[in-house]
Amino acid sequence: MKRHDPKTLKRSPPTPVSSLPKAVTGIQGLDEITGGGLPLGRPTLLCGSAGCGKTLLAMEFLVRGAVESGEPGVFMAFEESTGELAANFASLGYDLEGLVARKKLLLDHVTIDRGEIEEAGEYDLEGLFVRLGYAIDSIGAKRVVLDSIEALFSGLSNTAVLRSELRRLFGWLKEKGVTAIVTGERGEHSLTRYGLEEYVADCVILLDHRVEGQMATRRLRIVKYRGSNHGMSEYPFLIDEGGISILANTSVRLKYEACTERVSSGVPDLDAMMGGKGYYRGSSVLVSGTAGSGKTTMVAHFAHAAAARGEPCLWFAFEESSSQIIRNMRSVGIDLEPAVRNGTLQLHAERPSICGLEMHLLTMHRLVNQFRPRVVVVDPVTNFSALGSEAEVKAMLTRLIDFFKVQQVTALFTELTDGAALAEATEVGVSSLMDTWLLLRDVQNGAERNRVLHLLKSRGMAHSNQVREFLLTDHGAELREVYVGLSGDLLTGSARNALEEQEKAQALVRYQETAGKKRDLERKRQAMEAQIAMLRAEFEVDQAEAAVIIDEAEATAQVVAGDRNQMARRRQADPTVLEETPRQPLGKSL
């Protein structure tokens, strides 16, 4: 029996702690609804039609009391023999015989065969009191179940005596201080066929097993609980190998912690659209889209990435079988099989029509409580819409989302939208509950349909508002830029490719034009430099010629001056005149 221990149930009491002492039942959900259990030391009436789980709930109360609370219990059965009880409960994993052997439990089968009874005068039911008293005292019982005491009415005819004796019995049970469950068959116009509710005033629980639209749902309701707050609604419950689990939605309130940690979506391009980090941990993500738009691939990426990080992932598949999902995802390069094999990823494939909405919710609760995943995939939620009205489906999904949030589970939901409907109206009307909403859409261009992705919203983070083309390749999903054509249409697929080619060609032309200009310029530069070189050469020639002329002129001048000096010395001329004669060479000033 792998269950919540009562301590974890006590952790978040949904109702204010009442002063009324209570006996913890240990039954999943019941202690939450009743604010801690059944009234301690008082009888509780458990009524419902045949086969709705009265005996099971009553027995689970005793077994859990004996095992978890150390309170021995007496089960007085008016309908089934002790052997039948032991056999029936063995299939639920309850070892009644072992508990009986350890004096934790006492089973007493009361048979009343009207055929062998003759009533001849006054009587009372003291025999029952003595039996029960003896049973309680022999094991020190704190809990008692009478299932179903109404059998007395079919065995004995004096109802006046029975009624007064039942009144006495319930008073006597209170005196004994035992916490008792008395079961009663549902009557047509009253809670029980014989009006046991008249006698049991403290707590009345009604079980119901209804079939709506071919779906059977078990429900539990606390009709009354004197002196204590209690949940008023009808709570669906489930009977399986772990016993009873009641979906106590009272525990779901908008009180969860908002996590700031981010987890990758498994698609790097998509992470980039969300600031490069991905979704918030514990957030709810809706991936909606038309048929074949890649919703499952999108969530498979996420599941695959989570499993790769070693985070347990639970996948509820309502459309495809597990092996079909694995095969299909492998075709886009996402291999989920290793994660399934090592137990990180659990796939639960079921047709939604297998049971009602609330049973689905309960099953999911149970699996999440057992497996404790960090990541949950529900693919798709749309299939629930066949199971109830829009309001019911929305209520169920709200509870599911809140439950995931409380558990800090990041949840991805896929939703199939009708191609004809407005793309941004979700079929089940849950978008407002979601933190992040991805819309995958088919866009038709010419003779093609191509996928585009919109990130419609993502609460609490900066995110890209770009529409991206969404490609499914053999190595997973890829996001591409989307082109907008001249007419304002989105261009995707080959239209986008064509535009890309056109742009490439234009770029080539531009490149070529530039290159030509560069070459022209180079040519001009070279021409200019050649001219400069030529001018310089001419100049150098001129200069050289000029130098020669100057040298010759200076030499001539010296010769002339030398001649004049010689003449003067010969003529005895004034020396000062001779000194005044400049001696500088003329060519130097050039």
Partner 1 sequence: MKTIVTTDAANATPTTSVDEPDPTNYVLRLYVAGTTQRSTRAIVNIKKICEEHLQGHYDLQVIDIYQQPVLAGGEQIIAVPTLIKKLPPLLRRIIGDLSDHDRVLIGLDLKPTR
Q: Residue 226 Cβ, how far from partner 1 at the closest point, in Å?
A: 29
Whether the bond between 380 and the residue before it is cis, its omega within 30 degrees of 0, is: yes
3 state DSSP class of 3? coil
Binding to partner 1 in span 155-184, by CB under 8 A: 155-156
Q: What minimum distance in Å lies between the beta carbon of 73 and partner 1? A: 16
Binding string to partner 1 for residues 292 to 331, with x set by CB under 8 A, is what?
Answer: ----------------------------------------
Provide the minimum distance between the beta carbon of 166 and partner 1 in the complex, in angstroms, as a whole number: 12
Nearer to partner 1, 114 or 569 (CB): 114
Considering the complex, state which of residue 117 and residue 555 has its C-beta at the smaller distance from partner 1.
Answer: 117
Is the Cβ of residue 136 or residue 191 nearer to partner 1 in the bound state? 136
Count of CB atoms within 10 A of residue 471's CB?
17
Cβ distance to partner 1 smaller for residue 133 or 187: 133
Smallest gap from Cβ 135 to partner 1, in A, equals 7
Instruction: Kindly tell me which residue out of 40, 79, 131, 277 binds partner 1, with binding defined by CB under 8 A.
Output: 131
DSSP string, 547-582: HHHHHHHHHHHHHHHHHHHHHHHHHT--HHHHHTS-
Q: How far is the CB of 115 from partner 1 (least distance, A)?
A: 9
- N residues, the chain: 590
Q: Going by DSSP bridges, is the β-strand pair 375-379/313-317 parallel, antiparallel, or unpaired?
A: parallel
**Phi, psi angles (nearest 5°) of residue 223:** -75, -40
Contacting partner 1 within 410-429 (CB under 8 A): none
Task: Kindly state the number of chain residues that form the binding site for partner 1, as judged by CB under 8 A.
Answer: 25
Among 24, 105, 152, 181, binds partner 1 (CB under 8 A): 152
> Mapping DSSP to helix (H, G, I), strand (E, B) and coil, where does residue 67 land?
helix
Report in angstroms how near the CB of residue 84 gets to partner 1 at its nearest: 16
Least gap, CB of 144 to partner 1 (angstroms): 15
**Min. distance of Cβ 41 from partner 1 in angstroms?**
22
Burial class (CB in 10 A: 0-12, 13-18, 19+), 116: exposed
Q: Do residues 300 and 340 make contact, with C-beta atoms less than 8 angstroms apart?
A: no
Residue closer to partner 1 by CB (options 131, 174) is: 131
Closest distance of CB 316 from partner 1, Å: 50
- Of 125 and 433, CB closest to partner 1: 125
Strands 476-480 and 468-473 turn out to be antiparallel
480, two tokens: 């591409």
Shortest Cβ 111–partner 1 spacing (Å): 5
Q: How far is the CB of 204 from partner 1 (least distance, A)?
A: 25
Distance in Å, CB of 55 to partner 1, minimum: 20
Alpha carbon of residue 303 to chain centroid: 10
Q: Which is nearer to partner 1, 24 or 152 (CB)?
A: 152
Question: Would you call 46 helix, strand, or coil by DSSP?
Answer: strand
What gap in Å lies between CA 452 and CA 479, rounded to an integer?
A: 8
- Our finding on whether 134 is near partner 1 (CB under 8 A) is yes
Find the binding residues for partner 1 in span 71-130 (CB under 8 A): 108, 110-112, 116-128, 130
Q: Phi first, then psi: give them for residue 256, nearest 5 degrees.
A: -75, 160
Query: Binding string, 30-49, against partner 1, x = CB under 8 A?
Result: --------------------
**In the complex with partner 1, which residue's Cβ is closer, 121 or 582?**
121
Per-position x/- string for 373-412, each x denoting binding to partner 1 as judged by CB under 8 A, each - no binding: ----------------------------------------
Pick from 49, 82, 97, 133 the residue near partner 1 by CB under 8 A: 133
Sheet with 105-109, edge to edge strand ranges: 105-109, 73-77, 143-147, 179-185, 43-48, 203-212, 215-225, 234-240, 243-246
Ordered DSSP codes for 261-311: -EE--S-HHHHHHTTTT-EETT-EEEEEESTTSSHHHHHHHHHHHHHHTT-
User: Smallest distance from the beta carbon of 165 to partner 1, in angstroms?
Assistant: 9
The two tokens of residue 353 are 């029509």
Coil/strand/helix, residue 235:
strand
In the complex, the smallest distance separating the C-beta of residue 175 from partner 1, rounded to whole angstroms, is: 17
Residue in the block written with tokens 């070529």: 512
| Closest CB to partner 1 among residues 97, 319 | 97
Can the peptide bond before residue 251 be classed as cis, meaning omega within 30 degrees of 0? no
> Dihedral, CA atoms, 363, 365, 371, 373, nearest 10 degrees?
120
| Cβ nearer to partner 1, comparing 118 with 474 | 118
**Residue whose CB is less far from partner 1, 70 or 121:** 121
Nearest to 243 by CA among 106, 373, 61: 61
Which CB sits closer to partner 1, 12 or 111? Answer: 111
Beta-bridge mates of residue 76: 108, 146
Q: Which is nearer to partner 1, 114 or 518 (CB)?
A: 114
For the beta sheet containing 468-473, the strands, ordered from the edge strand earlier in sequence to the opposite edge, are 345-349, 313-317, 375-379, 410-416, 284-289, 436-445, 448-458, 468-473, 476-480
Residues 6+ apart with CB under 8 A from 576: none
* Cβ–Cβ under 8 Å, residues 278 and 428: no
Q: Which of 24, 38, 57, 135 binds partner 1 (CB under 8 A)?
A: 135
Q: Return the number of the residue (135 or 364) whose C-beta is nearest partner 1.
A: 135
Closest approach of Cβ 43 to partner 1, in Å?
18
Considering beta carbons, is residue 131 or 366 the nearer one to partner 1?
Answer: 131
Distances (CA, A) of 7 to 12, 14, 36, 555: 10, 14, 11, 128
Contacts with partner 1, residue ranges (CB under 8 A): 108, 110-112, 116-128, 130-131, 133-135, 152, 155-156
